[in-house]
Amino acid sequence: MTRGWERLGKLLLVVVSTTLCLLVAELVFRVLPAQSGQKQDEDGIAYRFNPFRLDSFGAYALREGATAVHATENFQVEVSVDSLGLRGPERSASGPRDRTRVLLLGDSFAFGWGVEYGETFGARLERRLVSRDGAVEVLNAGVPGWSADDQWIDYAQRGSQLGVDLVLLAETENDPQDLRWKDLGLDEDRLPVRTRSTHRVVDHRGRLRNVQGVPSLAFPGEGWLRGHSYLWNAIRFRLTKFWLRSFHERSVATNPELEQAVLGRPIESLEPEELQAGLRASAKFRLAYHRWLRTHLEERARADGARVLRLLVTFDDQRPYDAGVIEGLHADCSAAGPACLDTRDFFEASEFERAFFPGDGHWTAFGHERVAQRVAAWLVEQPELELSLRSSAK
């Protein structure tokens, strides 16, 4: 009997000690992102761009209250995130009634990759426009690397509660392509309730890392750990690096037979496995599902009492994307009439060097200024919004 109690006591000691060690490690990894924005190297200070965090529903999000310096060979800018997870100055969850509230959804173009917050086209719109009720407030909910699944989840979880009058969706030409690298948790209507990127992961320092294939580590509770534990995601990131050193991911070629099967049926009738396989194997199906998500987001926003407009972002990127998908997006924008503005002709060929950063193709401060001018004029032409231009604003 005494020996049995001794064994139970030792087991309990091991469990308690292990739990305490894991809790301390988790605390350390939670503190790390806020403390690791820069490091000293032989050339001086090197900055880590680390404003990201794990998310329980989306692949990742901006870390509330984060400040970071984003430095490359082309730019060095400061990035701040408010308590709502939006880029820019502090905003309230429910806006003042004496102003028109705009929610800007999108990826790195809406976020303002490579430019200061005040230089982003969203911030410039806020300064340029005035409403019948007073000022215009633009909430920047853009997050680098997000696609339509992330935007749908974010609007359902957060955006719909912000009391906005207008949702401005900045849709980028490569958005459908990004759906290829997502593992989706779907509801009965085949809308995502959770999403996981297989090509992007947030490391333990809060940096977004691009990798060629994140291994599936499915076991009971792994989804919860991925959404809540910084320690687990640090381990997961190390396992990913080991995986990539040890194995080579095979690219998924278009499967015409599968493509025809999924394209010939309503999306809501597909089994989750069929939908996921379609996203992996067919550019046409990725475009179809992107449209499906976009339509549902627009319907949800209208049900919340918000107007919905789209901005189609064309960018100077040399990577190959499916030409049919890109032309499909431009055809959608044209068919939407005044509800969509296409940026394809915003810049003359002679202006490309001033308008786009070399290499990654994002807008420079000059590019954002041009976009803000065109978008502001377009919004003023929307009679339901009752907006006008300030007499002097940049």
| pLDDT at residue 247, rounded to an integer | 45
Mean pLDDT of 279-307: 95
Evaluate if residue 166 carries a pLDDT over 70.
yes
Q: Which two tokens stand for residue 20?
A: 């305490």
pLDDT above 60: residue 354: yes
Give alpha helix (H) positions in 36-87: none
What is the set of domains in the chain, with CATH numbers?
72-190+251-389 (3.40.50.1110)
143, 88 contact by CB (below 8 A): no
The reported pTM is 0.84
* Confidence bin at 218 (pLDDT 50/70/90): low
What is the rounded CA–CA span in Å between residue 171 and residue 273? Answer: 26
Q: Taking residues 72-95, what's their average pLDDT?
A: 93
pLDDT on residue 276: 93
Burial 54-91 (b: 16+ CB within 10 A, else e): bbebbbbbbbeebebbbbeeeeebebbbbebbbbbeeb
What's the first-to-final CA gap in the chain, in angstroms?
82
Residue 325, Cβ neighbours under 10 Å: how many?
19
Name the average pLDDT for the chain. Answer: 85
Q: Which of 236-245, 278-287, 289-298 has the lowest mean pLDDT?
A: 236-245
Residue 253 has pLDDT above 90, yes or no: no
- Is residue 36 exposed (0-12), middle (13-18) or buried (19+ Cβ within 10 Å)? middle
